[in-house]
Structure 1
Amino acid sequence: MALTLENFIDSLDPTTLPRIIQIQSGIYFQGSVYEMHGHECCLATGEVIKVIGFKIAKVKAESYRGIEDNNFTSTVELPLDYPGFFKVLADPTPYTSVGDITKSVQIGHNRLGHPHFCSNMDIQVNDAFIKEGEHIVLNSLADVDGEQYVNCTVIRGGKNETLRIPLSHKGTFYECEDDQFYTLKEIMEWKIPKHRRRAVKLAKTLAVWEPNPYNEYLQGDLSLVPVYEIQAVMKFRKDIVHIPSNLDVEVVDVTELYDINSFVQPLSLSDVFKRPNEDFPLLAEIIECTDQNQHIYSSLKTGRVIVIHEKHFAKTTIASENRSDLNKKHFLIPKSYKGRFKRRPREFPTAYDLELANKNNDHLHVIATKEFSSDHAELSSVCVGDQFLVHQCQSIEVSCEGDKRLVEVVACEKIMGKDYEQVLLPTYMEGSFVEVIHDKKQYHISDICENFSLPFNVKVSIRDLSINDNLAALPSLRIEEEIADPCLLVSLLDSPSECFKIPVQRVNMSIQVLQEPATKAPCSTPKTIVEEISEDLYYMLRRYENSTLHPPPRPPKKPQSPITSTTMLKLLPPQPRKLDPPKSPKNSPTEMPRNKPKSQKYVPDITGKPENIVHDVTITEHAKERSDRRASATDLMLLKAKSLAVNIESLDLADKHDYEYIDENKVEDLRKQLNENEHQNKKNCKKKRENR
């Protein structure tokens, strides 16, 4: 049965690829070329195409305005790199089995691929019991004794229980509410179920596009629909063609009638990595390699024949240039890097950071660069230049307005010449510490990752002479995290000495596996490549590897004395003295008969700006009105000050996370503003008198 190309892709199961389709009704553009901008725009009727993959190229966002807007639905196409964050709304449609869930949602190795579901009834799985409403986290798929399972984690309070649930388990499962925010690309890759739409709500748009042409279309709840790009191979073409799924053509699946091997079968590096270890080594030809990777892998060009020896997870370290501005560089340093590093001082903005850095018994020695005054007698104050040896973290009770309060502190030894004083620093203290380095050793990158807690500041002391070492010129480098990078070990057939570790997630390369099997030959040591990565890739790698980090503890509320009448008087600004109206000179209009009608009397404007003043109003009335307006403005400022004091009195001092307190700087600014206004009014009056 013929289907539109869009319906065919929407109903296609990716696990059944490749599929062969035949064009039933083609599409032509008069006067057009066969290929435009790398995408096929003309397909002839009867043409046979092998579909090897498809990906999301853009997204259609539909918003429903409601009855007040006559049930109007607006649709806009968004690029995948739209600079905004979205909140994913839970899918209300239930799943009838665990197998249905795994077929519809993406389950991956990082935390974005761990969806949460719950059951509307209690379920029993072997010896495990899952209550109604408990969050079930799907981690990975497993095959045990011929039966397929999903490895799950059940969240119960502060403890998690791991178990396996067979895919055949029946029930009614619902997606759980998600409180995280995602980019549009992350939603399309990980959070959109197969054969379903995804309801989202725009949470924040980054200030990248000004003005933003999409703002008016992204109001309220949105329904996201992916628009796919098909990757296919034609009968007499060797390269991969890209076909938009919304072309107005009809196709029919003829996979059973054709020999798939008669087509070129391009594979991505990710496809090759999924093969079992027994398939290696492989002999392959490079069909396509994007230009963005040629500066690193310049030898891997289209048409070259390569030997793929094996696959493995390579340990790689993420590092960044240690500088305060936003233009810092980011690198991936392999374990084979032969350079050596010396330690550089680290900076710690709070005492909580000292406790985190000291968990691995680093014997931390720091010097304070910022003062801190303690509000409790049990805790120590800090002066600039104080030096401390950091020990463990503990909890103590402190007195606060007659009450006892539990506070997390870091126990330290304060260096007093040749003596040491035991002190306690609260973890919330807003200080600043710089590490004192006593270690003059030189370390390999593997030594740093194994023996020290990260992040860790270093400088290249001995450069790697086997490469063009771009790390040696940096004054300081911050070693941040070690990741497992899936790689393929590849060498050139005609040049076995050139061997590479190619990361499958960052190199876009298509290959064709050749029929001749590759012989198992020893591979030379792969080239060491210090890869500089973009800022987007840097944050993506760190986000996928890291779980949610716990923020530092919030500081307790600053102790406050009760508001008294004396404090109220201090809060209020001084009363400004009203100016007496100026004396009228002789032969002035004040000596003339005042017989003007009442309708010409001045009425103050509500904005405080006199616009319609009658010309024969006396100077005395002018002065009186100006004085009245100044008094009104002063009264308004006094009301604001009183309102501030009333708000302070209404604070709940028992709330340990309430940081509201009297800001004396604001009160002082209020006083200055009043004085400046009064002084300016005096100058204006004097200037007007002189002009008259």
Structure 2
Amino acid sequence: MGDLQCLQDFIRCLDEQSLPRILQICSGVYFQGSVYELSGSEVCLSTGDLVKVIGLNALSVFCEEIATGNSFELSAEYSGQFTLIAEDLPYNTIEEIVGLCPIGVDACGSFSFKSRNKLNVENFTVPAEEPLTLILIEVAEDGTRQARCQLTGQNMVSAEILLPLSLKGEFYECECDRGYSLQEIMTSARLKTRRFRSTHAKNIGGPIIFSPVYEIKAIMHMRKDIVKFPSTLEVDVQDVTEQFEDLVFITPLSIAEVASQPQESFPTMAEILEGPGGNAFFKCNWIQELYKDRHLVLHGLGHTQMVLASTPKGRKEKKYFLISQGYSGRMRRKAREFVSVYELYLASCQCPGLKVSVTRHCEAVEEEGIPALSVGDQLEVLDRTVNSPGTQSIQNLICKRTTEVDDEDDEDEEDDSEELSLPLFMAGHFMEKLTDNKKYNLKDLINKSLPIDIKVVTRDKELETDPLVGLTSLKLEETFLETVVLISLPNKPDWCFELPVRWLQMSLCFTSEPLPWPDSGSPKLYVETVTEVTENFYHEYHKATNKVEEPPPRPPKRKPSTTAVPKKSSKSKSGLPKKGSKVTEQLENLSLGKAKVRRAPAPPLPDDDDDNSMEPPPILPRKSISISDSITQPNTYVRGPIMANSARRTSDSEHDYETVDETFKNTHDSIMHY
């Protein structure tokens, strides 16, 4: 049983490699039955309670200057360096140095010491005050332990010497120039209790000691979930690990920790301590059953090959699935559609000798090297080349085009074929040519080159509902190996589902409940081999596997046209083309099928000196129109009274319109409308 210590002092000297440790609450501010809310959960620390510390998380570090008593706080990620201050107290034996040196035996090469007196070891003499650097600990043939030390003499000549750990003397630690990071100091139980000096002594001052603040991760004896509380609580504790070594604590396990258990631990019962809150990866039915306090049957664990599949884009929402290798549905291959030559190239890399049929006409563009394609052309992908027209490199896909002969009489004539060079940036519409109508199972398709398009034609009879049946098309994209835990619910122990370890964050604990089936043996298991996942899972998977698709190549920039661009015609100050220019000649040659009539020049502007310049122009008398004129020349622009205003606006137009048929004339035609 350990000594009574303040919680903060105990954690400061605790070696994390020794976890877990069992502590007993003895006394302090937290009296019997007190309840406190820490880190969002209620924690009750009563006198006599047992707490099992299972982890530490550094939050910050309080630093105190020994000389002035000033204190300040540093972040746990502080990147500054500190040098160790040598202790003034002497060591009496070499064994004491090995046990109390601030660095472990595996890395004690930086610890140096010196002897106050001269040392005589066998036939070798070590002068007084000569620095010795501890290298490692060795075991002699007779079983005695010895310290191998390095001695650096004059002219930097070094030698190694073996000192027995029982060697007595007066030894002192030497000053060391090595710098330690705050992270190194906090993770070493021996360094945490030492004094240091900052390498930036001007900013901080003299010797300082560190008091780290941790978030303690622990489990209570009579509590299922994990509790977290800071190490600064003013409570006294006692280490009782050896006394209560056989005490059973509820041990929370993550899914990854469950998957690391031996196979002999299964099947067993478990209880969910913390469910996968905020799930963003799964859309299946069993995800709703994973909530806190839910009991589960753990059948075992394994490594399952899975296929990532997706439906094509369309009017319906795109779906994504994880299909386990145990899926027994039958499926047929479906011809893939490609909308660019670049997609043809990607598919041909996975499936050499790819054959497609052109489903839409494509016009030739000579400037960009695009050939003409017709509906029905048969293309076989041969190779990829790089052409260099000019300064820009263009990648092309070499295909063989075959045109079938429709003449049935000429049976001996072979199909015409030619090689085409299709730029990868070229758009098009192609359909894959398939020669078989065979039904495949998933294992057969996995062995082929992926991706491929399929359609499920026969459901998996072992599934209650097969979500893949009824889908018009499904693309099998790629396969991967996933570690899974096989789980079922107690009310339906034979219907199981696979939990992918990488994609679920939840906490479980094993329980001693009996298995929900007779002792004669476990029932036959039916496994849900299809798991619907979200689009977020799809993208996160590709991020985790670093599979980022490269964008298709862009078409080259169009070369400037070789035809001369006509220069802008010069204009006069008034903004009109000058007389004699080409534009003027073209305007003069325009006509509407009539003789050319030159417009009369505009009248000159009145002089400013003219007295009558401010008078309005004279009003001309209205032209008289007789009734006979209106009868002989009817208004052909008016179809009825409703069009009267329109006819008045267009009465001066020179356009010819069809005359109104005699049957549609009425009395309104003989009336002039204004």
* TM-score scaled by length of structure 2: 0.49
**Structure with more of its chain in helix, by fraction:** 1
